[in-house]
């Protein structure tokens, strides 16, 4: 089988409207965990996981399903308070597409994001996220 995943191949990600996902770029793990915890408490999102995308780049996924509007509200709240330009850009993309996307497969030299922290309930949106992530990873590995 030919290797379809070359350096120029597109990136595979998971996109959803009702799962709260944050792309926490340019911040260390402690800051990422701080913001995730703050959002969890303010919006009662039950639980979260943090995935490490690369050095000082983290993703956070929350467990409670929310409406599209609430999702935008949450991401905007974090983006404004944290003054994180990358997160503002992520919010803008979310507003354009009306769904948020997180990378799942490797990108260039970066490996696929891995879970580094778990907190609270993981039975709803996180469970579905991890199942779908597994599917994407299987598809990706089948192409290599």
117-137: buried (b, 16+ CB within 10 Å) or exposed (e) per residue? eebbebebbbebbeeebeebe
Binding mask 101-140 vs another protein (x if CB under 8 A, - otherwise)? x--------------------------xx--x--xx-xx-
Q: Is 85 in the site for another protein (CB under 8 A)?
A: no
Residue 144 touching another protein (CB under 8 A)? no
Cβ contacts of 20 within 8 Å, gap of 6 or more? 39, 43, 45, 61, 62, 64, 66, 71, 74, 75, 100, 125
Strand partners, 70: none
CA–CA separation, 32 and 118 (whole Å): 12
- Name the minimum Å distance from CB 28 to another protein: 26
* 45 sits near another protein (criterion: CB under 8 A): no
Residues 56, 86, 99, 122: which binds another protein (CB under 8 A)?
Answer: 99
Residue with Cβ nearer another protein (17 or 52): 17
Binding site for another protein (CB under 8 A): 4-5, 7-19, 96-97, 99, 101, 128-129, 132, 135-136, 138-139, 142-143
């Amino acid at each position: 089988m030919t290797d379809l995943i070359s350096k120029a191949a597109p990136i595979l990600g998971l996109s959803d409207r009702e799962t709260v996902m944050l792309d926490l770029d340019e911040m260390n793990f402690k800051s990422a965990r701080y913001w995730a915890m703050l959002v969890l408490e303010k919006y009662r999102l039950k639980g979260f996981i943090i995935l490490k995308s690369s050095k000082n780049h983290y993703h956070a996924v929350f467990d409670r399903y929310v409406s599209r509007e609430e999702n935008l509200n949450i991401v905007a709240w974090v983006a404004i308070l944290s003054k994180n330009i990358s997160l503002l850009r992520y919010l803008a993309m979310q507003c354009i597409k009306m769904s948020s996307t997180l990378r799942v497969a490797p990108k260039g030299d970066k490996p696929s994001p891995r879970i580094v922290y778990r907190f609270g309930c993981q039975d709803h949106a996180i469970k579905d996220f991890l199942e779908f992530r597994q599917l994407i990873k299987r598809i990706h590995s089948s192409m290599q």
